[in-house]
Amino acid sequence: MIEDDPAIVRAVEKTLTMSPGFSLEWVSDPDKAVSEAAARRPDLVLLDVRLPDGDGRVILQALKENTATRGIPVILLTGLANEGDKVLGLNLGADDYVVKPFGAMELMARMQAVLRRYGPSAAAERVARAGGLALDAAQRSASLDGKELRLQPREFEVLFLLTAHAGKTLSRDFLIEHTSGYGRPVPTRSLDTHVKNLRRKMGARGDMIRTVPKLGYRLEA
């Protein structure tokens, strides 16, 4: 947990006692956040957006740019509740956005949902290949024609779904629901941003992702 307020840390630590198997490590210095995450390799990062000596979104971006930490899921904790702030955080690679004050049960449910998506038992069976694309959820790796694609977590999820269902049109609602994982969909325009970024990163092959008007998207292999 990257947080400057010890009272919030104690509250979250108390919440974690509700479910066995959790342990919490606390980093209060923003300058040490990325190096500590790289050294400890946690299963999940809880990141405060408003830190007195730093911006949590800058830390998030640094985590996603570091090869040792970019695969670690991140939940943002913040008092910023407007849609623009949420979209920015999600587009930077956050897996969820929990607004303070939050309930203990809500936080626990969201943490467990993220861990189910990234956990080894769920990921072991998740490999998708089509049209030169190869995505391995266990390794959180993606490649196109043998060349690595560096994807943000939600970009990976969108492309994985499209690849696993190559040739089939997936509705916008389906893609949003299955890349948020909490029954609380991300804004529709965020999905459009992910698709735009995927096409850009795929270069000349980006046109494999087809827009199906009024329905959603389809991967043509």
Residue 84 confidence class, pLDDT cut points 50, 70, 90: low
User: In the listed set 67, 84, 118, which residue is the last one of a domain according to the structure?
Assistant: 118
Looking at the structure, do residues 158 and 113 belong to the same domain, yes or no?
no
* pLDDT on residue 120: 52
Read off the pLDDT of each residue in 1-19 and give the average, rounded to a whole number: 85
User: In the listed set 95, 118, 141, which residue is the last one of a domain according to the structure?
Assistant: 118
Looking at the structure, do residues 97 and 41 belong to the same domain, yes or no?
yes
Q: Name the residue with tokens 């939940």.
A: 75
User: In the listed set 55, 84, 118, which residue is the last one of a domain according to the structure?
Assistant: 118
* pLDDT one-digit tens code per residue, 176-203: 877 654 334 445 578 899 999 999 999 9
Task: Report the CATH number at residue 141.
Answer: 1.10.10.10
Looking at the structure, do residues 90 and 33 belong to the same domain, yes or no?
yes
* pLDDT on residue 132: 95
Question: Which segment, 103-117, 165-179, 203-217, is predicted with the most confidence on average?
Answer: 203-217
* pLDDT one-digit tens code per residue, 23-82: 899 998 888 999 999 998 898 999 988 887 778 889 998 998 888 888 889 998 887 666
* pLDDT on residue 184: 45
Looking at the structure, do residues 89 and 44 belong to the same domain, yes or no?
yes
Beta strands in 41-113 (DSSP E): 45-48, 50-51, 54-55, 74-78, 96-99
* pLDDT one-digit tens code per residue, 116-129: 777 654 444 568 89
Interhelix angle 6-16/104-118, rounded to 10 degrees, is 70
Number of domains in the chain: 2
Phi, psi of 137 (to 5 degrees): -70, -30
* pLDDT on residue 185: 45
Looking at the structure, do residues 111 and 135 belong to the same domain, yes or no?
no
Looking at the structure, do residues 151 and 137 belong to the same domain, yes or no?
yes
Looking at the structure, do residues 19 and 58 belong to the same domain, yes or no?
yes
Residue 216 confidence class, pLDDT cut points 50, 70, 90: very high
Looking at the structure, do residues 39 and 99 belong to the same domain, yes or no?
yes
Mean pLDDT of the chain: 83
* pLDDT on residue 182: 37
* pLDDT on residue 123: 44
Q: Which amino acid appears at position 48 of this protein?
A: D
Looking at the structure, do residues 34 and 138 belong to the same domain, yes or no?
no
Q: Which amino acid appears at position 149 of this protein?
A: L
Task: Report the CATH number at residue 84.
Answer: 3.40.50.2300
* More confident of the two residues 209 and 124: 209
As to burial, measured by CB atoms within 10 angstroms (0-12 exposed, 13-18 middle, 19+ buried), residue 153 is: buried
Query: Whole-model pTM?
Result: 0.56
Decide if pLDDT at 138 tops 70.
no
**Domain around 165:** 123-219
Q: Which amino acid appears at position 95 of this protein?
A: D
* More confident of the two residues 18 and 154: 154
* pLDDT on residue 27: 92
Is residue 1, in this structure, part of any structural domain at all? no
Residue 83 confidence class, pLDDT cut points 50, 70, 90: low
* pLDDT on residue 110: 85
Looking at the structure, do residues 19 and 106 belong to the same domain, yes or no?
yes
Looking at the structure, do residues 203 and 110 belong to the same domain, yes or no?
no
Peptide bond just before 101 cis, omega within 30 deg: yes
